[in-house]
Amino acid sequence: MADRQEVLVGAVAYSANVVPIWEGIRDYFAESSAPMDFVLFSNYERQVEALLAGHIDIAWNTNVAWIRTLRRTGGTAIALATRDTDLVFTTVMVGRAGSGLDGIESLRGKQVALGSRDSGQARILPLHFLHRAGITEADMDLVIFDSDVGKHGDTGRSDLDALRAVVDGDADVAAIGVNTWNSLRAGGDGAVADLAVVWESEPYSHCNFSVLETLPSERTRPWVEHLLAMDWEIPEHRRILELEGLTEWKLPDLEGYRSLTAAMDEQNISDHW
């Protein structure tokens, strides 16, 4: 590991907004006892490799990237913090309002649109929840959109492609992250008004700041304490929190990763790329 004072945080550049988000977070930490800088990766797999190699101290990981990190470290990796919104993340199945579809069982025999193969919310977990309900691939007509592979669904692109299939009559429902659904509803889009949630999953955990156990706690503790001190009521903090999609940083809930762990086992999803 490089000898440096600053904590180096890795994040994936899923959109151009990532730059002002992390510049804002870096500025927030500049006057603290745990100053930080950041580096951006083009995909989560590259970021996990960099964390394991010690090129970065902390990785802002999706839930899929976290499980891979955990497995690659023999279960010793540590999750430091998460967003409040990551603790109550869900997948929603969205169809056209008035379709008569209601509940996961009603999806048997239907066209189900799914997002990218590395998206926890739009592909891996929906398939797991369907399987758990006794609905296999053979019981559905799957419509697949591998639109943003490497970003683990962060761009929302494959969610939107799946939703578009519903709007265009090419699928009965789309499995998407609740964050995408809430963003669309907030926009007042006319097409969204013609859609409705057919089923919503149980909550599960999503992103977290992941570290190796070898990173000394005297480096992580002040960093986490300063992170948790970000305050929605302070305008300059709020700007960053809104861009990143949260109101408060929280400690992670590791139980919330159980469903994804089971899903990745069941679907034989690699711990690597």
Partner 1 sequence: MSFDLTVRLIEAVGATAAGTTVMVPLDGPDEVRTAASWADATGNTVLMVHPDPVEIYRGRIADPIDALSPERRPGHRLWIYTNFHCNLACDYCCVESSPTARRRIIEIDEFAAIIGEAIAADVAELYLTGGEPFMLIDLDERLRVATAARPTTVLTNAMQWHGERRRRLDALPRDNLTFQISLDSATADLHDRHRGAGSFAKAIEGIGVATELGFRIRVAATLGPDAGTTEQELERFFDDLALEPDQRVIRRVARQGSANAGLAVSRASLIPEVCVTADGVWWHPVAAIDPTMKVVDNWAPLRTTIDTIRDEYRTHRIANDVLASSFPCA
Q: Output the smallest distance, CB 168 to partner 1, in A.
A: 6
> Which residue is it, tokens 């990143």?
244
The verdict on 96 binding partner 1 (CB under 8 A) reads: yes
Stretch touching partner 1 by CB under 8 A, among 69-77, 178-186, 228-236, 253-261: 178-186
Q: Which string of DSSP letters, residue by residue, matches 191-241?
A: HHHTEEEEEEPPPB---EEEE-TTS-HHHHHHHHHHHHT--TTSHHHHHHH
Sequence-distant (≥ 6) Cβ neighbours of residue 159 within 8 angstroms: 115, 119, 121, 122, 153, 174, 176, 177, 180
Residue 128 or 152: the one with the smaller Cβ distance to partner 1 is: 152
Tell me the chain's radius of gyration from C-alpha atoms. 19
Stretch touching partner 1 by CB under 8 A, among 26-34, 131-139, 151-159, 256-264: 151-159
Residue 203 or 222: the one with the smaller Cβ distance to partner 1 is: 203
The verdict on 128 binding partner 1 (CB under 8 A) reads: no
The verdict on 205 binding partner 1 (CB under 8 A) reads: no
253: left (phi over 0), alpha (psi -120 to 50) or beta: beta
Residue 126 or 177: the one with the smaller Cβ distance to partner 1 is: 177
Would you give the binding string for partner 1 spanning residues 46-85, x where CB under 8 A is met?
----------------x-----------------------
- Give the strand pairing for 58-61 and 208-211: antiparallel
- Cβ–Cβ < 8 Å for 90, 202: yes
The verdict on 164 binding partner 1 (CB under 8 A) reads: yes
Tell me which of 10, 126, 177, 252 binds partner 1, using CB under 8 A. Answer: 177
Residue 45 or 154: the one with the smaller Cβ distance to partner 1 is: 154
Find the helix or strand (DSSP H, E) in which 112 lies. strand 111-114
Q: Which amino acid is at 231?
A: D
Tell me which of 193, 229, 234, 251 binds partner 1, using CB under 8 A. Answer: 193
